[in-house]
Amino acid sequence: MKRFDELKIEYDLMHRNDKEVSCFLPVHMTVGKVEKSLFKKNGDLNEQYYKWQFLNCFVESGLCSKDYIGTEVNFPKGNKGSAMIKLDAAIFDDKNWYSHYEALHTKKDDSKWDELNWLKEHLLCAMEFKKEGSKDVKGVFTSQLKTYMNESSKNVVFGILYDEGRLYLFKSNGKNYFRLSDEFNNENKGKFEPTFDIPDGYSNLLSFEEMLDYDTTNKAVTDYSGRKVDELGIISKTDSKRLNDALYQILHTMDKCGLVNQKGYNILIQLLALKIYDEKNNSNDLKYYINPNEAAYKKISEDGLQDFLKRIEQIRVKAKTQYKKILNENYFDNKNESQVKVVIEIVRQFQNYSFTNSERNNLYQLVFYRFASQFSKADNAQFVTPLQIIDFIVDMVNPKHNESIIDPTVGIADFLSVSYVKSNGTLDDKNFYGLDIDEDMVKLATLNMLLNGDGNATIEAQSDGLGSINTKFDDEGKLIKLVPRTEKQDHNYNGQWDNRVDGKSLKKFDIVLTNPPFGEARSWIPTGTDKNIAECYELWNRYKQTKIDLGVIFLENAVRVLNENGRMAIVLSNSIASIDAHKEARKWLCKNMRIVAIIDLPANIFAEAGVSPTIIIAYKPNDEELKNLQKNNYQVFSKEIKKVGYEVKTKNKVKCFETQYKLNPETFEKEINSDGTAKLDEEFTETVSNFKQWCNKQEDTLKKLFLQ
C-alpha cells in the first residue's frame, strides 16, 4: 500500500491536465457523477480538483474505505426555507449512511428528522477543501469547518481542512476544538487553543479505525500487563507536547525528591536502558509497566508496589549481562522512598511509548537530547550538537560499509548513531569508537547506540580531565596513553605518536566526526604533568604559548588518528580558520591534509557558545598525492550557511531551539514539502546537493571517498 504523499505525486502526474473527473463517491444525491469543472477562469486548478485529489489518495492509501465517505453532504438547519449546511465531504462510522441520507432528503414527513439525528450521531469527520492558498486558515476553520464539525453529536469528531495541498487536522472534545496534534495547540491562561500557521504532515492523517478508536484511547487503563510492543504508541513530533509534558513531570519529580543530581541521573539512565531491553527482549509480554493500584501505595511494603519493584528488578538482572557498562552498578535502592517515587514516575511516563519502533529523529530530539541537555556540564563544555548539523555533516562525509569511525569527544554519540541510522544498517557498530571525559555522558551514549545501532560500539570514558587529549585506542580497541618524552627518549613528543616502546600500535580510523570544545573560553592552560602531554602535540610546540584553544589540539588529534585517505569533519571556531593568531594551525593542516570543504555557520547556533563555528572537511592523502594536489592548486568547496532551520531563544530562562520555516515570498505562507510538512528555512539540503555536484569535478580519490 502506497503512502498518501506518494499517491498525491502520482495523481498530479496523471490527472493534472484532465478536463473532467469521474466521481467515485456520492455527490449529494447523485452516484456516478462526472465533474467537469476543475479549472478557474484564469486556468488555475480549482478546489474541485484538490477535493478529488485528496479523496482519491485518502482512499487509495488505505486510510478509509470509500463506503463511508460522501461529498457535498447537505444537512438541513431545521428552519423551513433556511439554507442548507453543506459539507464538502464527510466520513460516517456506518457504511449504511447513504440510505439514511437518501431518506433524509426524500421523506416528506417528520420522520426525516430521525434520519438527520441518525446521521449526526454517526458523523465521524467533516472536510473542507480550498484552492486559495488562504492566509486566513483560522477564519475558514471558525466560519466553516468548525460549524460542520458541530453538526456531529459524537463526543469526539474530527475535521480536515485541505487547501492546495496544505493539510490542517482538527479534533473536538465536546464543544472544545483543537488541532489534532498537541504540538499545534498553545496554552493560554490554563486553556489550550489551536494555532493555524503550521500545516500537518500527511503522515498525521488518521485512518478510519484510528478515528473510531480515538475516543477510547485516553480512557483510564487499570491493567497494563500482557501488552505487546506493537501496541505502544510511536514517538513522533505530533506527540511533542504530550511527551515534553511527560519529561517535565519526570524532572519535576526528581526535583521534589532531591534527585536532580548524579544519583538521579544514573537512575534515569538505567531506567531508560531497562525500557529498551524490555522492548527488545519481552516484546510480546512487556514487563516495563506500573498499574494504577501499584502506584497508589501508602507503604513501600505493600504487595502491589512490591510486585512492581520485583518486575523492574527482574528486567535489570536479565539486562545486566547485555548492558554491562550501564547496569554494572545498581544505583536504585528500592527501600528508599524518594528513589522509588522517581522510578514510578519514569516508568509511568514512558510505559505507553515504544522506543524501538519510534523514528530516530523524533526519539533523539525528544528524549536523548532533552535529558542530555538537562545534565550537561557547562564548565566542561559538554553540550549536545543540534541534530540538523549532525545530519548535515554525516551527509557530507558519507560514511560507508566497513569503515571505522571515531568521535574523540563523543558526548551522547550523536555522530555515531546518526551515521549508523543513515547507513540503513550497512555500517557495523564494531567499527564505532568514542571517548569522553564524563562517565555519565558515556552511559547515555551507550544507551543511544543500543537503541539506534546494535550495541557493539566501543565508547569509553576517561575522567582525568583530558579525555582523548591524552588517551587513544590501540589497534585492538583498548585504551593507551601518550608517552611524554624523557631525558633519554622523545617517545610521543611533537606528534611522534607511533613511536612506542611498549609494542602497541595506535589505532587509525577511516573517519573522524567531532564537535570538540573550542573558543577562547575553552582555552587549555596545561601545567605540571599536563604540560608534558601538551608537548606531544606539534601544534602546541609551534604556538609557543602558555595556553591554546582546545579546538587546535583536537584538530591535530583528529588528523593523527586517521588512516591514509581517511577523512574528517570537525566543528571549530571560525577564528581557527581565519585569523592570524591561528595561521600555524592552518599551515600545519594544509601540510597534512587535503582540505575539501569549509562551511561557515552563523554565530550562536549552539545555545552555549557565542563564537561563529566553521566546519572543516578534509581527507588525508599520501605525501606524494598531496604534493601533486598542492602543485595543481586544488579546489576547496566553500559555503557560508546563514539559515539553519532554527533559532536559539531563551524561554523561562532556558535556552531552546525554535524551528524556523520557509515562507512563500508572495503569500508569506509556510511552504510545504512533498509529505505535507512545513519546509524548514535551512540551507543544509541545498548545500549537500551542491557539494555532491562539485565533487564530481574533482580528483578521483575525492570522488571515491565522498560520492561512492
Q: What is the pTM of this model?
A: 0.83
Q: To 10 degrees, the CA torsion angle through 649, 650, 654, 655?
A: 30
Rg, Å, the chain Cα set: 30
pLDDT at 497: 95
Query: Helices 337-350 and 303-322: crossing angle, nearest 10°?
Result: 70
The DSSP H or E segment spanning 393 is helix 387-397
| DSSP string across 531-585 | HHHHTTSHHHHHH-SS-EEHHHHHHHHHHHTEEEEEEEEEEEEHHHHHSGGGHHH
DSSP state of 380: G
pLDDT at 450: 82
161 contacts 167 by C-beta, under 8 angstroms: yes
CA distance linking residue 294 with residue 223, whole number of Å: 10
CA distance linking residue 294 with residue 19, whole number of Å: 64
**Residue 682 CB-half CA count within 13 A:** 22
Closest CA to 574 of 600, 604, 537, 545: 600
CA distance linking residue 268 with residue 247, whole number of Å: 11
682 contacts 388 by C-beta, under 8 angstroms: yes
512 contacts 566 by C-beta, under 8 angstroms: yes
pLDDT at 197: 87
Cβ neighbours of 27 (radius 10 Å):
16
Series of mean pLDDT values for 10-residue runs along the chain (708 residues)? 93 93 95 89 88 96 97 82 86 96 92 93 95 77 93 93 93 88 77 87 91 68 87 70 76 91 87 92 94 92 95 94 87 94 94 81 62 54 71 95 94 89 82 90 84 82 90 94 93 95 94 88 88 96 93 96 97 89 94 97 72 93 96 96 83 65 84 90 96 96 94
441 contacts 382 by C-beta, under 8 angstroms: yes
CA distance linking residue 374 with residue 655, whole number of Å: 11
- Annotate 323-366 with three-state secondary structure: CHHHHCCCCCCCCCHHHHHHHHHHHHHHCCEECCCCCHHHHHHH
DSSP state of 683: S
pLDDT at 360: 64
Q: How far is CA 201 from CA 105, 236, 475, 672, in A?
A: 37, 11, 47, 9
Q: Which residues of 86-114 are buried (b: 16+ CB within 10 A; e: fewer)?
A: ebbbbbbeeeebbebbebbeeeeeeebee
DSSP state of 645: S
